[in-house]
Amino acid sequence: MWKLFKRVVFILIVVNISSIMWGRFFNPPITFIQLEGLIKYRKLHRDYISFDEMGSLVKRAVIASEDQNYFRHNGFDFKAIRRAMINNQKNDKKRLQGGSTISQQTAKNIFLWNGRSWVRKGVETIFTFMIENFWNKEIILERYLNSIEMGQGVFGVEAASKYYFGKSAKNLNKSEAAWIAAVLPNPKKYDPKNPSPYLKKKHEWIMKQMRDVRLN
């Protein structure tokens, strides 16, 4: 029994390391979260593109919205985590604030599944540490922007740009890029085509924040 356990652990380690190395050079064929969206919505809009093909505006908009310290942390933003904990203690469950970085979200989107269990969060931490050391910031951001859920069955900024605005991500103007980013982190609830007052306010905030975002 002990030998079997060690063999299973060894296989899991090899598979995980192999997937990390594969991910350095290639986007995933499909992820658990994309498969979940395909089953639930019976569609999968996804269009992988390279980092350069994305243009700069959508990158700046997403960083402004999700992780303004992206290029300054090592995968974990402890100040953001602390702010989220304080905020969540004050507010009800409908207004929970997350402290996950783009690196953590990439680890979840590429390798894991949706959910809030401590087990999943622990595995996410391991994968975040690994991609921060085996990949680089540009690769992580590219994988994130290609895999992030952007609507019901819509994944990645290129598919989202075509779905919402009928154009490629590199051709978005500043306002359109901010609308793409505004739906995060709850893209199944918010719609840039029919924005709520909250989404309009968030869009304006992202537009202002984009001025200070640097892509390095």
What pLDDT score was predicted for residue 187? 83
- How far the first Cα of the chain sits from its last, in Å, is 50
The C-alpha atoms of residue 147 and residue 190 are separated, in whole angstroms, by: 18
Position 202 scores a pLDDT of 95
Distance CA 135, CA 19 (A): 12
pLDDT at 81: 66
Mean pLDDT value across the chain: 86
* Both structure tokens of 55: 């243009």
Position with higher pLDDT, 102 vs 98 = 102
Q: What is the mean pLDDT of residues 166-189?
A: 92
Q: If DSSP codes are grouped into helix, strand and coil, which group holds residue 151?
A: strand
Residue 12 pLDDT > 70: no
Residue 199: the pLDDT is: 93
Quote the strand ranges of 6-153, DSSP E. Answer: 45-46, 149-151
Q: Would you state the pLDDT for residue 5? A: 57
Domain boundaries, the chain: 17-212
Under a CB-based contact definition with an 8 Å cutoff, are residues 101 and 67 in contact?
yes
Per-residue pLDDT of 149-169, as tens digits, reads: 998 899 999 999 999 999 999
pLDDT at position 92 over 60: no
Q: Is the pLDDT of residue 89 over 70?
A: no
pTM score of the predicted model: 0.86
Q: What is the CA radius of gyration of the chain?
A: 18
Tell me what the mean pLDDT of segment 164-188 comes to: 93
Report the pLDDT averaged over residues 57-71.
95
Of the listed ranges 48-62, 63-77, 133-147, the least confidently predicted one is: 63-77
Residues in Cβ contact with 184 at an 8 Å cutoff, skipping those fewer than 6 apart: 62, 65, 66, 148, 150
Please state the CATH superfamily assignment of the domain spanning residues 17-212 in this structure. Answer: Biosynthetic peptidoglycan transglycosylase-like (1.10.3810.10)
State the pLDDT at residue 46. 92
What pLDDT, in 10s, does the model give residues 106-131?
999 999 888 778 888 888 999 999 99
Any long-range contacts for 68-72 (C-beta under 8 Å, 24+ apart)?
A: 68/209, 68/212, 68/213, 69/101, 70/101, 70/102, 70/103, 70/137, 70/141, 71/137, 71/214, 71/215, 71/216
Position 90 scores a pLDDT of 59
